[in-house]
Chain A
Amino acid sequence: MDALLVTQSINVVYGIATLAILALGLAVIFGLLGVLNLAHGELIMLGAYCAWVTQAHGWPFLAAVPLALAVCGALGALVEWALIRPLYRRPFDTLVATWGLSLLLRKSVEALFGLGYKSVSMPLQGTVRVLDSPYPAYRVALIVLSVAVLAALILWYGRSGTGTRIKAMVGNPELAQALGIPVKRLAAGTFVVGCCLAGLGGVMVAPLVPVQPYMGLDYILQSFFVLVVGGLGSVLGLLSGAAVIGGANGIVSALFNATYGYFTVLVLAILFLWLRPRGIYARS
């Protein structure tokens, strides 16, 4: 098979997988709880900084994962209790509050670590052969890990008791409460999981991008557009959104430049907002 074609194809898969795993945390929080967490990008940023801190201390790369989960999980729990829960019926105020939080996180990291770009070295060097073509090993690992995480989440959500209870809570919160389901605790747990997923995504992309306090902005926008286009509440929606946004951005950026790619994404988002406001695969 033509080597270039294989590489390009894997690039596409890689782009979609990366977008999907980065948007996953927001998909959980926005899709299930209806909360647009504007600090989502900053949680990814924190995950990336955890990877850098791990490296700076000489610990193995994988140690960044529990660190990021702990940091983002604790932060998520605190934020859910202090900001989200009091504002559940006021979605606009939630938007503003999480935007303020994103500001706070950005500025805190800037004050602690400075504005300079940090770089995290690749934990997996070299290439592997995919269908006889060489491809960077870390990227392959990322694809595999993203697929694994998504698959695990789908299986767990579909089969487990907690997953069923969350589905019940999301679809009919009144009845769920009436049947003894601890809705408040479940919602808090869901929020924390969404934050942890963001942190995990941050660790995964840390070796691939410059780590700096403002990196989260691009991610919240991309994640939001992925969900707008793909639709809230389903993994299929997440993947199709990632495919459309990632694909469009990739193609246009390759043909022209990054600015045009950005512009294309914006145009697509506005078009979907007009024509199909619930996205490609809206939850019924």
Chain B
Amino acid sequence: MSASLLEFEGLVGGYGSAPVLRGVAGAVAPGEVLCVIGRNGVGKSTLMKLLFGYLRCWHGSILLRGRRIEALEPPQRWHLGMTYSPQERPVFDDLSLRDNLTLTRGRRDLAPFAPYFERFPILAQRLAQHAGTLSGGEKKILSFVRALAEDQPLVLLDEPTEGVQWENILHMEALIERRKAAGAAFIVVEQNLAFAERVADRYLVMDQGRAVLAGPRAEIGREQLLEHLHV
């Protein structure tokens, strides 16, 4: 296994007095996709928030390229090479699509987005509109494109396919493969098993705030996953 880009260990954290994560560990290497699976309420989004710095870890460590980042604020983590697409409110509703896409780039040039516009022409058509006018699935696509186009080495996606149609989900898969080939690492929280099975290299299955199953995709079958999703 190649050296990890991001490693986390013994993460404990939560909201107010309530512990949601009770000690989670995992890692992802460059060019790899780690899928976090679990039913509602087990702490998947909380894990993402801890990794990104919205919530302080109560215990545990997070290492990015071997450097401890638990104490850093989210903007600092972005500058170190992480980017994030949240589950709720994934775009800036008040900004145009163009501004949403170019906000972090410093230049308003849209040429680098060509491969993305090819697959999602609707984005190119609505560049001047406010992102708030998009449907839920379209917002997810916009957020996805923005996150990948930043060319950051580590991309965290929280339920990127929620509300997205299957054809577009396939496009997302292709684009993730493309970035993977360029060496980017992904951590993807997903409820949609069909999508997870296609993109994941490794799984991290969570239940009640802990990792109950982890390993490469080859070693974990669908039945095992379903067992932990309790459906």
Of A161, A172, A178, most B-chain CB atoms within 10 Å: A178
Residues of A close to B79: CB separation below 8 A:
180
Residues of B close to A282: CB separation below 8 A:
none
* CB-based contact B78/A179 at 8 Å: yes
* CB-based contact B95/A171 at 8 Å: yes
**Would you list which residues of chain B between 69 and 85 have a CB under 8 Å from chain A?**
73-75, 78-79, 83-84
Select A175's contact among B73, B92, B99, B106, beta carbons within 8 Å. Answer: B92
Select A164's contact among B53, B54, B99, beta carbons within 8 Å. Answer: B99
B177 within 8 A of A: no
* CB-based contact A179/B104 at 8 Å: yes
Q: Nearest chain-A residue to B99 (Cβ)?
A: A164
Chain B interface size range: 20 to 34
Size of chain A's interface in residues, with CB distance under 8 A?
Answer: 19
Q: How far is the CA of A174 from the CA of B93 in the complex (A)?
A: 13
* Prevailing SS type, chain A contact patch: helix
Select B73's contact among A165, A167, A170, A177, beta carbons within 8 Å. Answer: A177
Residues of A close to B54: CB separation below 8 A:
174, 177-178
* CB-based contact B94/A178 at 8 Å: no
Residues of A close to B53: CB separation below 8 A:
177
A284 within 8 A of B: yes
Q: A180-B75, A180-B104, A182-B75 are in contact. Are A167 and B86 (CB under 8 A)?
A: no
B218 to chain A, nearest CB (A): 32
Select A178's contact among B86, B106, B132, beta carbons within 8 Å. Answer: B86
A67 to chain B, nearest CB (A): 34
Q: How far is the CA of A172 from the CA of B93 in the complex (A)?
A: 8
**Would you list which residues of chain A between 154 and 198 have a CB under 8 Å from chain B?**
161, 164-165, 167-168, 170-172, 174-183
* CB-based contact A177/B92 at 8 Å: no
Residues of B close to A178: CB separation below 8 A:
52, 54, 74, 78, 83-84, 86
A163 to chain B, nearest CB (A): 10
A171 to chain B, nearest CB (A): 4
Residues of B close to A175: CB separation below 8 A:
84, 86, 89-92
B103 within 8 A of A: yes
* Prevailing SS type, chain B contact patch: loop
**Would you list which residues of chain B between 92 and 130 have a CB under 8 Å from chain A?**
92-95, 99, 103-104, 106
Q: How far is the CA of A174 from the CA of B73 in the complex (A)?
A: 11
Q: How far is the CA of A182 from the CA of B79 in the complex (A)?
A: 11
Select B92's contact among A161, A168, A180, A183, beta carbons within 8 Å. Answer: A168
Q: Nearest chain-B residue to A181 (Cβ)?
A: B75
* CB-based contact A171/B93 at 8 Å: yes
Q: Nearest chain-A residue to B75 (Cβ)?
A: A180
* CB-based contact A177/B95 at 8 Å: no
Q: How far is the CA of A151 from the CA of B89 in the complex (A)?
A: 31
Q: How far is the CA of A182 from the CA of B104 in the complex (A)?
A: 11
Select B103's contact among A168, A170, A177, beta carbons within 8 Å. Answer: A168
Of B53, B89, B90, B92, most A-chain CB atoms within 10 Å: B92
Q: How far is the CA of A1 from the CA of B153 in the complex (A)?
A: 69
Residues of A close to B94: CB separation below 8 A:
167-168, 170-171
Q: A167-B92, A181-B75 are in contact. Are A174 and B86 (CB under 8 A)?
A: yes
Q: How far is the CA of A182 from the CA of B99 in the complex (A)?
A: 17
Q: A179-B78, A179-B103 are in contact. Are A171 and B92 (CB under 8 A)?
A: yes
Q: Nearest chain-A residue to B104 (Cβ)?
A: A179
Q: Nearest chain-A residue to B143 (Cβ)?
A: A175
Q: How far is the CA of A178 from the CA of B132 in the complex (A)?
A: 19
Residues of B close to A179: CB separation below 8 A:
75, 78, 83-84, 103-104
16 A-B pairs with CB atoms under 8 Å apart are A164-B95, A167-B92, A168-B94, A168-B99, A170-B94, A171-B94, A171-B95, A174-B54, A174-B86, A175-B84, A175-B92, A177-B53, A178-B74, A179-B75, A180-B75, A180-B79
The 7 closest A-B pairs by CB, nearest first: A180-B78, A177-B74, A178-B84, A171-B94, A168-B92, A180-B75, A179-B104
Q: Which residues of A contact B (CB under 8 A)?
A: 161, 164-165, 167-168, 170-172, 174-183, 284
